[in-house]
Each structure stands twice: as structure tokens, then as C-alpha cells.
Structure 1
Amino acid sequence: MQYLPNIIFAILLTVAIGYFAKNVKKLIRNIKLGQDVDVSNNKKERFKNMAMIALGQSKMVKRPIAGILHIIVYVGFIIINIEVLEIIIDGLFGTHRAFSGIGPIYGVLIGIFEILAFLVFVAVVIFWIRRNVMKLSRFWKSEMTTWPKNDGNFILYFEMVLMTLFLVMNATDVSFQNMNNGNVISQFIAPLFSGMPESTLHIIERAAWWLHIAGILIFLNYLYFSKHLHIILAFPNTYYGSLKPKGAFNNLESVTKEVKMMMDPNADPFAAPPEGAEAAMPAKFGASDVQDLNWVQLLSAYTCTECGRCTSACPANLTGKKLSPRKIMMDTRDRLEEVGKNIDANNGEFKDDGKQLLGDYITNEELWACTTCNACVEECPVSINPLSIILEMRRYLVMEQSAAPVELNNMMTNIENNGAPWPYNQMDRLNWKDE
């Protein structure tokens, strides 16, 4: 019986980490369903982007209030969880505050943890008010249905409870309070429990300890099902993010070669294609489903924070059109999850379900509403590029289904016939100056 708590703790820890590892494996499998893409270039710049954007939160502070609050929560939550190391050691070996033997430094660390815990709690309350009382419009767009709205609140409640448990655990730890070293916040909470027997305080402290570590392990496994997976994926996503100028389009090499050949006056249109030319042609132009996208785009879908900064900056959305860059990423992730469950249900093989990303999730109207201005790409705090997915799906509509809007077809016909988007003969192009 003496070691029963340690055995229970070890089982809880093993099950939680095992379930998390299982979901991480599934996550990697789903991301690898995407097409291969070479992102091995310029490692120095990629590491710089990861350090500045994911670690340094450089794009978050472009909106100062939300950015500063997010940094408090981010830094506080990460640093406070350093104490999880001590909790794990205590849980496995039956010790109590195993690191307290390092002397005064321990008090300094716990003091910092307590200050951060208080600041995190305050920041989270402000986030909750912004989301539920002030009701900022970007949190209440049409794509923010029951689950996305609840998910955001669930995480806020999680963080409030975890920070409270941490401070209560310290406040009811008699030996820690007697040290009077590091209890910079908990000393003001301890009087709430004054007059209670020491045995009762011990029960409260142990209950807070168990609930705190259990809450952290539950939070860890909740991440896979939540938008807060970006806590982990923001780092690889910013590393693998595009380094091209934002106005650069991703041209297909095979199409570029074909156009160059057509424009070459010395090319023989009846000549046999060079060896290997057929192999260079893609099996499908553009993307109609998640498997047609590249794996970086699928990684981005899982990384989306659903913060809505992209949609709030989108000129098409602001003028009442159906396009929401956030919805593009959410739909891609939802379809990818659906495909993953299909594979799980069919022994590792995908069985055609008669559905696809284009049409069943994202409509043509949404795709053609995009102005390709890159506002969404510029706004995203974790280097997600919704525009790249929109363009791939447009490419599919144009090159595979000839389903471009009439206005675009007219423009392309004019370019083909007149060498310009306008319906004027090349000889008449300058007539406007005589009017």
C-alpha cells in the first residue's frame, strides 16, 4: 500500500504518454498523405523564421493587446510547466518537492512560477471576456460553429483551472509556506484556508497536486483534437513556410516548358516529345482533395490557430463574400481527418467515399472570391498560407474541368487572340488616346 500512489501515478503517466504518442503517429501519417515538396533549401533563414515567429512571437504583437496577452500565456504556461519535471519525480519516487534541496534558487524559481501563474490567469480571463462578452467579430464568423467556439473556451477554462490548482497546491503546502521563500502569490491565498487542521490542508494539497498533473496530461492529449495543436506544430510550420516573395506564383514546370515551346518560332510542333516528357506531366493539375495538396499545406491545416486574423484582413470577406481564409484551413483539416478515419476503418487503405475537399467542403464561389492579395498570408501569426490551397484548387477547376468563370475565360481568350486582357485588336490598342 505504501507504493500504491506511485504505481497509480506511473500507470497514469504511461497511459497518457502512450495515447499522445499514438495520436502523434496518426498525425504524421495524415500529413504524409500529401504530395512531396522540397523544402530543404536555405536552412539558416528557416531557423531564423522559426526562432522569430514561433518562439519569438514576432507576428503576434502586430496586434499589441492580443499579442502581449498571448506572450504572457505562452511564456507563463511553458515556464510553469518546468515544474512538471519535479511533479513527475515526486510522483514516481514518492518524494516531496524533490528540487527544494537546491537551496534559495528553488524559492526564486517557484516565486517566478507563481507570478507567471497569476499573470496567465489574468490574461486568460481577459481573453475570455474578449471572446464571450465583447464578442470580437472574428470569433463569431459563420465557420465558428459549436465546436470551434467551445474549443476556444475549453482551453481557457483548462488554463484557469490549472493555474488555480498550482497556486492552491502551494498555498496549502504547510512546509512550503513555512519556508517563506517563493510563496509570493500563494501567501495571499493561504489565509483562505486558515484555521483548518494540518491533516485537512494536506488532503487539499494532495488533491490539488493530483488534479494539476492529471489536468496537464489531459490537456496534452486534448491537443490533437483542438486548434491548440499549434502549440507544437507552429515550430515546424514556421520552419517549412514558404521563403518565396508573397506575390510569386507556383508555376508547373511541365506547363512552363510547353508554353515556351509554343512560343519558340524554331520549335517543330509535330516533333515527338523529348524522352521523359510524359513522366514530367503531373497526374492531375491542381488539387480537388487533400491528397493532391503537398504535405506542408496539410501541416498548415493542422497548425491553424483559428484566430481569424486572416479572415478579418481579407477584403473579399470584408465586402460580404463567402470566402474566409480561416474556413479554407479548417475545411482542409476536417477533410484530412475524415480521410484519416477512412484509412483507419479500412485497414490502412483509403476507400473512395464519394467525397472530396472541392465541392463537399469548399465551394467554387469561395475560391473565385479570392483577390490573391496575400493579406491572409501576411496576417497569419504562424506562417500559414491559405492562398496556396486556393490557387491549387483554382488550377484544378481551370485545367481539369474548364470551369473558370465567364469573365476569366473571356480574359484568357483575349490574351490568346489579342496578346492582352482587353477585347481590342493589337493594331487598335492605342485608339483610346484619340478619344
Structure 2
Amino acid sequence: MNYLDNIFFAILLIAGFGYFYNNIKKLIRNINLGIDIDRKDNPSARWKNMAMIALGQSKMVKRPIAGILHIIVYVGFIIINIELLEIIIDGLVGTHRVFSSLGAVYGFLIGSFEILAILVLVAVIVFWIRRNIVKLQRFINPDLKGFPKNDANYILYFEMVLMTLFLVMNATDNFFQMNNSGNLISQHIAPLFSGFSESSLHIVERTTWWLHITGILIFLNYLYFSKHLHILLAFPNTFFADLNPLGKFNNLEAVTNEVKLMMDPNADPFAAPAPTEGEVPAKFGANDVQDLNWVQLLNAYTCTECGRCTSACPANLTGKKLSPRKIMMDTRDRLEEVGKNIDANKGIFIPDNKTLLNDYITPEELWACTSCNACVEECPVNISPLSIIMDMRRYLVMEQSAAPMPINAMMTNVENNGAPWPYSQQDRLNWKDE
């Protein structure tokens, strides 16, 4: 490889990683649009969560077939790309297989990589069949159409091509290596190129080498626009996940203070401090992405769109409009829209007469939720669609007084009768005389 190749390779790396860095900055900026929340408690439990769920894939294997195949793709793809380090050194310095001096160790590594490459190919083909031929219900739901559906296939094709390029690169390079004992798979592909001249073999090997590294950089930058961003975000998402028991909801500080004041017999309700001039009144719940906390926005970007949440949702299973997967996808889409608005207006958000509530998510979807936490339990990366649903319900009830009639009736009964039923306290035990 001459100096021109080295320079071109360096430019390719700088462009690829530079664009990736800009996308990561935009991602962090968008997530930080959310309300601040403290998730630094109990670090040991958080590290354990990340190790078991993000790294160990413990929740994936609850569905064994998909779980095992996913682990193969995940482990295979990560480990195989350890080879990326060798490619970068070779490309910048002009060496060829710089780590081959490791001898038997290098042969073992290459052999392991090739076995994993074949396993990844098999797993990806099975995934493609499940999505496009078998058509599992959670992959053909109405909320997964258009780009989200195509995106899943694009990633599968990417992985097929990258693994094939890796094996063909090794197979053609077999003819130039003194010791290729580690090429367990590619040595069986090499006979396909036995009729090629040395110059043709070199062209094929170099072409696949360049396509392989270019494909990896393209894949890396495509992640920002894809559901496969969870490859990176699953780790912080599981680390910052809510450690409280499922079903425990946070209390609003403003409401808590008011209730304490009401229950204190010695308190003078008229002595409550008046808001200072210019102070913005507390907003109850959320009607747009800026009203959600940053962990909820991180959840939205981490969503794998696997549909496990929706397939376990009792509301969805009984024909209701609610899909927890759609809640997360809509949140991410609205957040992206807000981010583009900020980019277009030099760092300032200009109101666009749109909100997450109504323009993306309807009250019908929100009120269909039973708050059973099935979606939270099923998510393989600890996402909580329920937290977003509950915050938006709070906005409907406390800011717009827009609860459904049965709920309004129940709250009226609690206020008047001290119970959700339409009977006065004096009549509450009349049933015993019947």
C-alpha cells in the first residue's frame, strides 16, 4: 500500500468517525432536553443491571430462540470487529496483517472470528425469515410500517454483507499467507478462487478489505438513524433504569406539599408563601418531550422496536389502540423533530404548534393502558413505556381536566364519599342487611 492509499484511508477514518462524533453530540443534546432526574443511587445495583442485562443479555433469553440468535449476532459482531483494530493499523501504517506475528494466537483468533462469522450469517438469515416469510405478529403490527420495517431489513443485509466480505477477504488472502492454519472457514471458500491470477486475487482481496472497513464506518453512522442505536445505548439505559419496584410511582412535590399542608391541623393554609414574581408555576405531567425526564428520552432512543412489550400488552391483545412500542417510537420521532427545529434555528427551539400529546400519541392510547407493567417486565433493555404514559395521563387530568367520564365519576366519589363508589358513608354497610 503506497502513501496515497494511507492518506486516503486516514481521510476515510476522519470523515467516518467525525460524522459519528457529530451525531453523538446531537444525541446527547436531545436527551438533555429532558428534565433533570437523579439516577446515581445504589451504584452497585446499577452496575449489576448493566452487566446482567446489557452485557449478559439475561432478559433476551426469556424467549430462547430469538435470545440465543441475538446473542450470537451480538457477540459475533462485537468480537469480529476486534479485527477492526488490525485493519486501522494496516491502513494507516501500510502494513499487512500486522498482528500475524502473534503466530498460533493469531491463527486461533482468526479461526474463532470465522466461526462466529458463519454463525452470525445463519442467525441473520433466520431473523430475516422470521420477519419476511414467517411474519411473526409483533413484526407486522400496524405501528411497525414504512421505515421502521425496512430499517430492520437494512441492518440484516448490512450484517450479511459485512460477514461475507470478511470471509472472502480471508479466503483470497489465503494464497498470500505462509501460515493460514487459523482460517477454518475461509480455507474452504478459497478453492472458488483457485483459477484466479495472482493480480486478480490481490484485487479481490484489496477490494473486500476496503469495502469491509467502509461498510463498518457506514454502519456506525447509520446507527443514529436506526433502531440499532441500542447497540450503544443499552449500557447507559440499563445503568440508569428505575430501581424502584414495578408499580411504584413518584409523587409530585407540589402536590405532596399541598396535601401535607391540608393534613396539618396547626398549619394556616393562608400562610402559604405566594409565588415570587416571574416564577413559572409547576407543570403537572407531560404533553411534549421537553416535559419528560432525560432518562425517558434515553429510553426512546434505546428502543429496539422488537415488539416484545406490545406482544405482552393486555390492552393491545384485546384490540385496543395502545402499543407500548409505538409510544417509544413516537417519543423518539417527536424528539428528533424538536432537535431538527433547534438545529434550524441556531440552537433555539421555535414553537411549531405540535406536541407529543395529540399530534403523535392520542388520549385513546393513553387511557387504554392498564398500568400492569407487562411492557416494562418484557423489555430486554429495561425501557419503561409506562412512565411516559403515566406522565401524559397526569397532564390530561391535572392540567386539562380531560379524564374519561368513569374516572371523573370515581374521583368525585372519592372527594364526596371517601370511596370510589357512589354511596354515602352512612349507607356503606347496608349490603349486610340484604
Same fold (TM over 0.5): yes
Amino acid in the other structure paired with 2:142: S
What CA distance in whole angstroms lies between the structure 1 residues aligned with 2:114 and 2:67? 22
Number of the residue aligned with 1:46: 46
What whole-Å deviation, never above 9, does each CA across 1:289-339 have from its counterpart, x for those lacking one? 000000010011000000000000000000000000000000000000000
One-letter amino acid of the counterpart of residue 395, structure 1: R
Q: Distance in 2 between matches of 1:2 and 1:349?
A: 47
Cα pair distance change 1:434/1:349, threshold 3 Å = same
Compute the displacement of 1:272 (Å): 1.2
| Equivalent in the alignment of 1:345 | 344
Q: Partner of 1:272 in structure 2?
A: 271
Cα distance change, pair 351–119 in 1 and its aligned pair in 2 (3 A):
same
How big is each residue's C-alpha offset from its partner over 1:262-298, in whole Å with a ceiling of 9 and x where there is no partner? 23344333x3115889999853111000000000100
Corresponding residue number in structure 1 for 2:335: 336
Name stretches of at least 5 consecutive residues in structure 2 with no aligned partner: none
Cα 1:276–1:175 change in 2 (3 A) is: farther
Letter in 1 for 2:326: K
Aligned to 2:236: 236
Query: Residue 432 of structure 1: CA displacement?
Result: 2.0
> SS at 2:128's partner residue?
helix
CA contact (8 A) 1:169 1:208 kept: yes
What is residue 261 of structure 1 aligned with on the other side? 261
Contact 1:314 1:325 in 2 (8 A): yes
Deviation, structure 1 residue 408: 0.4
Give CA-to-partner distance per residue, 1:380-433, whole Å, 9 cap, x none: 000100000000000001110000010000000111111111111112212223
RMSD of equivalent CA atoms: 1.6
For the pair 1:417 / 2:416, whether they are aligned, the reply is: yes
Which residue identity does 2:70 align to in structure 1? H
* Deviation by residue 1:35-55 (Cα, 9 ceiling, x = unmatched): 010111111111110000000
2: CA distance, partners of 1:405 / 1:280: 32
Retained in 1: the 8 A contact 2:174–2:180? no
The CA distance in 1 between the partners of 2:278 and 2:371, in whole Å, is 31
Aligned to 2:355: 356
Note if contact 1:174-1:201 (Cα within 8 Å) is conserved in structure 2: no
1:129-155 Cα shifts (integer Å, max 9, x gaps): 001000001011111121000000000
The question of whether the paired residues in 2 share the 8 Å contact of 1:397 and 1:403 is answered with yes
Q: Contact (CA 8 Å) 1:55, 1:235: kept in 2 or not?
A: yes
Q: Hey, what does 1:426 align to over in structure 2?
A: 425
**d(CA) in 2 for partners of 1:428 and 1:281?**
45
1:327 paired residue number: 326
Residue 166 of structure 1: aligned partner:
166
2:12 aligned residue:
12
Is the alpha carbon distance of 1:176 and 1:79 closer, same or farther for their aligned partners in structure 2, counting shifts above 3 Å? farther
Distance of 2:375 and 2:213 partners within structure 1: 38
Q: Which letter maps to 1:8? A: F
Give the deviation of 1:256 after TM superposition.
1.3
Deviations 1:173-197 (A, max 9, x none): 0356652311101111111111211
How many angstroms apart in 2 are the aligned matches of 1:249 and 1:280? 27
Give SS of 1:179's match. Answer: coil
Find the counterpart in structure 2 of residue 403 from structure 1: 402
SS of 2:45 mapped into structure 1 = helix
1:216 aligns with: 216
CA distance in 2 between counterparts of 1:39 and 1:278 reads 32
Q: Take 1:344 and 1:279, find their aligned partners in 2: how far apart are those partners?
A: 28
Q: 1:180 is matched with which residue?
A: 180
8 Å CA contact 1:290, 1:335 repeated in 2: yes
Q: Which residue of 2 aligns with 1:134?
A: 134
- 1:177–1:98 CA distance, 2 compared to 1 (3 A): closer
| Residue of structure 2 in register with 1:315 after alignment | 314
Secondary structure of 2:134's partner?
A: coil
Q: 1:432 & 1:93 partners in 2: Cα distance?
A: 88
Which segment is superposed worse, 189-198 or 216-225?
189-198
1:379 Cα offset (Å): 0.4
C-alpha distance in structure 1 between counterparts of 2:215 and 2:191, whole Å = 25
Indicate the residue corresponding to 1:225 in structure 2. 225
CA contact (8 A) 2:174 2:190 kept: no
Q: State the one-letter code of the partner of 2:376.
A: V
Kept after mapping to 1: 8 A contact 2:171/2:190: yes
Q: Distance in 2 between matches of 1:338 and 1:280?
A: 28
Write the distance in 1 (CA, Å) between the matches of 2:281 and 2:251.
Answer: 12
* CA–CA distance in structure 2, aligned partners of residues 101 and 231 of structure 1: 32
1:33-112 matches, cutoff 5 A? 33-112=33-112
CA contact (8 A) 1:50 1:239 kept: yes
Taking the aligned partners of 2:215 and 2:230, their CA distance within structure 1 comes to 19
Tell me by how many angstroms 1:259 deviates.
1.5
CA distance in 1, matches of 2:152, 2:180: 37
Cα 1:34–1:71 change in 2 (3 A) is same
Q: Could you list the runs of 5+ residues in structure 1 that have no partner in the other structure?
A: none
Other-structure match for 2:299: 300
- Amino acid across the alignment from 1:159: E
Indicate if the aligned counterparts of 1:254 and 1:281 stay in contact, CA closer than 8 A. no
Which residue is equivalent to 2:393? 394
Query: Whole-Å Cα distance in 2 between the matches of residues 239 and 178 of structure 1?
Result: 47
Contact 2:2 2:94 in 1 (8 A): no
- Paired with 1:22 and 1:260, the residues of 2 have a C-alpha distance of 48
- CA distance 1:176–1:75, shift in 2 (3 Å): farther
Distance across 2 between alignment mates of 1:275 and 1:195: 88
The whole-number CA distance in structure 1 between the counterparts of 2:227 and 2:319 is 26
